[in-house]
Amino acid sequence: MAIEKILLGGGCFWCIEAVYREVKGVISSISGYAGGDNPNPTYQQICTGTTNHAEVVEVTFDNEIVNLDTILDVFWTIHDPTTLNAQGADRGTQYRSVVYYYEELQKERTIVSAKEIQKSLRDPIVTELATAPTFYSAEDYHQNYYNLNSSAGYCQMVISPKVAKFRAKFL
């Protein structure tokens, strides 16, 4: 088993986490915060948009089952990497599109992946690509949110379509 981690942000972390929980070979997907100035930020602080943190998901995967290229392909598919600081109705720097990588090979694969996906997009990708900063796990009530609250309005209107899009393309 060859374990890797990568941090991905593409709007609300509930959406990203819900999708990656369904990817074969993903060991865990944990909602959290990264890229900001405050150590140990809280959701209330993040929501102000003044901490510079992004909502991200720490995706831990076995690259003998699912490779980084597939992890990134899923990422580009389930959100819009061309919208700055927004996904749908979620607006603010905390919702920006980010890929935070841990090693040089991940950086190289991420750059290649972004260039490939750009060919199919009309607008330029605005996704932040950078070395992984400190990751802070979000509060417990954010973890596995979709599976625990699937009948909630936000889950039905926002998360379910992203999960369906993933399933249609990858399952």
Q: What is the pLDDT of residue 125?
A: 98
pLDDT for position 98:
98
Q: How many structural domains compose the chain? A: 1
Asked if 12 is an active-site residue, the reply is yes
Please report the pLDDT score of residue 22 as a whole number: 97
Can you list the residues of the chain whose pLDDT is less than 70? none
Helix (H) or strand (E) holding 45: helix 43-47
Helix segments in 86-127, DSSP class H: 104-118
Instruction: For residue 171, give every residue at least 6 positions away whose Cβ sits within 8 Å of its Cβ, in sequence order, or none.
Output: 22
Give the pLDDT of residue 85. Answer: 96
pLDDT score, position 1: 76
Instruction: Check 12, 15, 47, 155 and give the catalytic one.
Output: 12
Domain that holds residue 102: 3-170
**Contact status, residue 46 vs residue 171, Cβ threshold 8 Å:** no
CATH of the domain at 100: 3.30.1060.10
The residue behind tokens 């950086």 is 107
pLDDT at 61: 98
- Taking alpha carbons only, the member of 80, 65, 162 closest to residue 127 is 80
